[in-house]
Structure 1
Amino acid sequence: MKRGKTLLILCAILVIAIVAIIVEKAVKQHIDTVNTIDEEVFTIDEDDLTQVAIEYNDDSVTLVQNDSTWQISDDTDFPVDQDYVADMLSYFESVHASFIIDDVENYAQYGLDSPEATITFSTADGDSVITFGDFSTIDEKRYICVDKKSVYLIDEDILQYVSGSQDDFLDRDEVYDYSQITSVVVAGDGEANVVYDPDGEYTYTDDYDFYYVDGDDYSPVSESKVTSFVEKLSSMDLTEYETYKATDDDLADYGLDNPTLKVTITGEIPADDSEEDSDDAAVESQTQTIYFAKADDADTAYLYFEGSTIVYAITADDYDDIADVSYGTLRPTEVVSVDWTNVAQLSVDIDDEAYIVNVEYDEKDGNTYTVDDETVDFVTATSLIDSLSLTEVGDDYSKGTEELAFAITLNDEDATVVNVVLYQYDGDSCVVVVDGKTVGLCSRTSMSSLREEITSSILNKGKEVEETEEDSTTDD
């Protein structure tokens, strides 16, 4: 009995203690006031700012504005990307919130006791401080506090546009976004001399606007391949840099005093103060030269833009990809490019047999093909000629037996003739010779298909017309 009474007394004491603790916590607890709002809670004007100090996790950077130019406070030689700073600050011109939390006593519950980031905006009138806390669990909106007062839930997490790393503010060089490339010159480990000349009359067709210049010779190259080469340069990863204030001695240390590759691009870009979207927007010509250096067997290559003091590091693979440029990499893949409405005749040699295919064009009916005054169905053959493409480009291939030859005579003032000869090379390829010049290899399967189609068309000359006439007689 005594033991039972003792247990009851102890339980009663425990209950009283628990109640006392709850009451004490209830008395001390402070309930924050939360209200829904839709208003601007912070604003700044970039022109009014004298300094912006950013602390973001373990990074920190302080920017000062002098004569409308932003600089790193403790490193005025650092080239600051002014557009990057302006873009970042634009998100603070008008900060909107969905909720306001007043009478805050415990900032820790919003992650504001140890904020993820703190930004101090300084003007001639004083400082304004924004601290960035956690995200709300309900709607995943960011908590911020302005000047250590009320807490807000902001509509957009503007912290994603902020960086505390000085490197992110570096005004990195970049290849211009050319509206028209006019020339590309490469020397060193790669080699090219390409010009844009849409009115040039260097070949039998006007399908090409870019030409590879070798002395007095102008050979057409693919516009898409020229553009692709420039895009390689534009997309170089310039994240890693060695120095942003390179001296002549620094350039020598990286081998850039004696570059292994030099690329010069000239083209048109929108002129300053011009409207880019306007049809008659003014343009100006700009030239950029990029120097590269890579030691044999090195894993890293270095580069800098002429006129810049920043030396960048790229991988050896990226360097090799850029250096892999030549006439062979830029030449169009098609063996020939003709407008069949402007063809007068096609001569074909197969197994020492020569055939002449005459062509007549009519605006209404298109082309008519005849051999010995008899109609032939040659449309598929012309399509196969159009699709005949190079699998490799080059001029150093051993020619075997001639397998197919054809000459296309154009209906122009000079009766221009384009000669194509295909020779056996191996079981998979044929050597392609155009106008007496070896240009590369093509698929032997493509050659065989073209040869068979031409042979079949010529052997079946006139049959299509006869069958049509027979069908007409039967119908009568």
Structure 2
Amino acid sequence: MKRRKTLLILSLVLVVAVGAIVAEKAVAQHVDKINTIDEEVFNISAEDATQLTVTKDGKTAVIEKQDDTWKNTSDTDFPVDQDYVAKIFEAFESVHASFIIDDVEDYSQYGISNPEGKITFTTADGTNEITFGSFSTIDKKRYICVDGGSVYLIDTDLLEKLSGDIEDYLDRDKVEGYSQLTAMRITGASKANVVYDPDGKYTYTDAYNFYNVSDNEHQPLSESKVLGYLSTLSSLDLSNYETYKATEEDMSKYGLDKPTLTVTLTGEVPADDSDEDDSVKSVNQTLYFSYKDGKDKAYLCFDGSTIVYAITAEEYENVLKANYEDLRPDEIVSIDWTKVAQVSAKIDGETHIIEVDHSGDGNKYSVGDDKIEFVTATSKIDGLTLSEVGEDYKKGTEELAFAITLDDNDATVVNVVMYQYDGDSCVVSVDGNIVGLCNRSSMSNLREEITSAILNKGKDQ
């Protein structure tokens, strides 16, 4: 009973839909014959096609197949995006319609006489043309006409997938969508030699995966900053270009024969030709940039490409932010407190030793035989960040020093010293090397917390 009722409702909906379309066209002198269908009304194979012509928004793009490669008919040096063309054929390999209008006498009432666009496929057997009309006012579906015959209503607006502007067919370069960046080398106006080594044992902590290699020293980097820089490269606006067939003379003209910045990326991307979902392959890309001071734009070219792109000076300035100082972690130290054996704090010339006990639930801290509340202090140590990165800061009087001894085979010690600089900042030294400035209030809050913990030792612990 329920099934019969459902079928009845669907039948009524269908009748109403057809009737609505008929009513919509009743103003015309001739009412065309309309039938509901659900069938393929056009198909095309990319292998069979030899030419493709698209007209839309007053522009016409014509491409043809040469040696199995799609070329711009008017300029074969124009690099056509083969994937872009493939997607067009995917959209038209099987076109389905929900209504058919036969014996059409007035194509104008469907927008076919003055179409919004059309596409022509040429094969060895001839040509097929699809004309795109207006939308039906009832259900907002697009009218199309195939080879000047019947008019159809299609469920998907295929015109949205087309462009008559040949510029949209340009095979623009792009930064690969790396599933894992493994190396990044930057030379010129900025310098960095970034490597991905998650198993490296270069510092007291295993919190870092990326390092800057300089003079055989591995300096830890912020993973979010490294990937953020990669995102900056990927987000460059490559819609504007100077030429798509650059010669050596062009490269010299735009300064790309002697780039001001060179970025080489190495990483893993999905292997398209593999049957394994998790299969990857390694790829390399090199990007060359050139810029002259005072200009409002810079130039970019990918290695192996003949396209010279124009980017803004602001975009170029963002690409320059690739030095170690730009990519270094913000935190002054990265400590796993479950692996700390001892903390030594020096304030006003007096040194205090805080022992760490891991035998129970959570860490327990003590000075001599007295327990202390030191968890807040550890949180403040974790929260210490650099406001500026660099080594050329003149240090004043020492204000706070602490050494963290790790519970490892080497009893590794991380030494941090904070010195006076000015009213707002302190100079920070880690393991004897000045690394930059930190907010003075952060240092003062930590100093007060350590002092309070020690002064209150043994109380209510």
Tell me the TM-score normalized by structure 2: 0.91
User: For residue 430 of structure 1, what is the aligned residue in structure 2?
Assistant: 426
Per the TM alignment, residue 270 of structure 1 is displaced from its structure 2 partner at its CA by 2.6
Residue 383 (structure 2) pairs with residue 414 (structure 1)? no
SS in 2 for 1:144: strand
Query: What residue is the counterpart of 1:16 in the other structure?
Result: none
Q: Are the structure 2 counterparts of residues 273 and 35 from structure 1 closer, same or farther at C-alpha, using a change threshold of 3 Å? A: same
> How many Å separate the matches in 2 of 1:462 and 1:453?
16
Identity of aligned residues (%): 62
In structure 2, the CA distance between the partners of 1:276 and 1:325, relative to structure 1 (3 Å rule), is farther
Q: 1:446 aligns with which of 433, 442, 449?
A: 442
What is aligned with 1:298?
Answer: 295
User: How far apart, CA to CA, are the structure 2 residues paired with 1:203 and 1:216?
Assistant: 13
Q: How does 1:39-438 map to 2 (within 5 A)?
A: 39-275=39-275, 277-278=277-278, 281=279, 283-362=280-359, 364-438=360-434
Residues 56-94 of structure 1: CA distance to partner in whole angstroms, max 9, x if unpaired?
121111121233321112222211111110011111111
User: AA paired with 1:187?
Assistant: T
Q: Report how far residue 337 of structure 1 moved.
A: 0.7
Q: Secondary structure at the match of 2:358?
A: strand
RMSD of Structure 2 on Structure 1 (CA): 1.6
1:93 maps to a residue whose letter is E
30-39 or 214-223, which moves further after superposition? 30-39
Q: Distance in 2 between matches of 1:344 and 1:285?
A: 42
How many angstroms apart in 2 are the aligned matches of 1:203 and 1:31?
82
Q: List per-residue Cα deviations over 1:239-289 (Å, max 9, x = no partner).
A: 1111111110110111111111111111122334224633xx2x3322111
> Would you say the 8 A contact 1:270–1:276 is kept in 2?
no
- 1:271 and 1:37 map into 2 onto residues whose CA distance is 42
- The structure with more radius of gyration: 1
- Structure 2's unaligned 5+ residue stretches are 1-25
Contact 1:409 1:416 in 2 (8 A): yes
Offset of residue 36 of structure 1: 2.2
Distance 2:324 2:53 in 1: 52
> Matched residue of 2:351: which SS?
strand
**SS of residue in 2 equivalent to 1:298:** coil
The amino acid that maps onto 1:290 is L
Aligned mates of 1:30, 1:385 — CA distance in 2: 84
- Please state how far the C-alpha of 1:459 moved relative to its aligned partner: 1.0
Q: Distance in 2 between matches of 1:178 and 1:373?
A: 54
SS at match of 2:160: helix
Please state whether the residue corresponding to 1:354 is helix, strand or coil: strand
Partners in 2 of 1:182 and 1:56 — Cα distance? 43
The amino acid that maps onto 1:436 is G
Structure 1 unmatched runs, 5+ = 1-25, 466-476
Cα deviation digits, residues 440-467 of structure 1 (max 9, x gap): 11122221221111111111111123xx
Query: Post-superposition shift, 1:326?
Result: 0.7
**1:314-364 residue CA offsets vs partner (Å, 9 max, x unmatched):** 1110011101221111100111011111111111011222100011212x4
Whether 2:455 is the aligned partner of 1:459: answer yes
TM-score, with length taken from structure 1: 0.88
Offset of residue 401 of structure 1: 2.5
- Aligned partner letter, 1:123: T
Number of residues of Structure 1 aligned to a counterpart in Structure 2: 435
Cα distance, 1:172 vs structure 2: 1.0
SS in 2 for 1:366: coil
Rounded Cα–Cα distance in structure 2 between residues aligned with 1:62 and 1:253: 31
SS at match of 2:92: coil
Give how far 1:398 is off.
2.6
Helix, strand or coil for the counterpart of 2:460?
helix
Of 381-390 and 397-406, more deviation after overlay is shown by 397-406
The letter of the residue matching 1:162 is L
Distance 2:232 2:41 in 1: 44
Deviations, residues 218-242 of structure 1 (Å, cap 9, x unaligned): 2111111111111111111111111
Displacement of 1:207 in angstroms is 1.2
- Secondary structure, counterpart of 1:63 in structure 2: strand
Q: Partners of 2:411 and 2:135 in 1: how far apart?
A: 76
